[in-house]
Amino acid sequence: MGNNIKKRGHVISNTKNALFGLLIGGLAGAAAMLLFAPQSGKKTRTQIKQKSIELRDETTTNIKKAVAQVRSETNRITAEVREKAGEIKQLGQDKLVEQMDRVSAALDAGKTAVEAA
């Protein structure tokens, strides 16, 4: 289970890094476009607006994918934990029945010994 938590943390970390890189790259591209654009300001502003919309859409899509991936992993881990909890519960019940049988047998042996004496 420890590996699953590390794995989930790694997935989240990778997703954050990817989103951060995407954002920084988009901003750097927009800045470079402003500095080196040999065109009118109006055309440049239109391009910036379009690129901003594209970047927003890409970021939204990537965030939705990351959230879906985290949910899926969380559901899988939850199912594993529930399964293990059920196994532990059953094991505890089995041990309890085993101990009750031992106590009952000891009581019967004690009664037999008292009656024989």
Q: What is the DSSP string of the chain?
A: -HHHHHHHHHHHHHHHHHHHHHHHHHHHHHHHHHHH--S-HHHHHHHHHHHHHHHHHHHHHHHHHHHHHHHHHHHHHHHHHHHHHHHHHHHHHHHHHHHHHHHHHHHHHHHHHHHH-
| pTM, full prediction | 0.48
Taking only the tens of pLDDT, the chain with its 117 residues reads 555 555 555 666 777 788 888 888 888 888 787 777 677 778 878 888 998 999 899 999 999 999 999 999 999 999 999 999 999 999 999 999 999 999 999 888 888 888 887
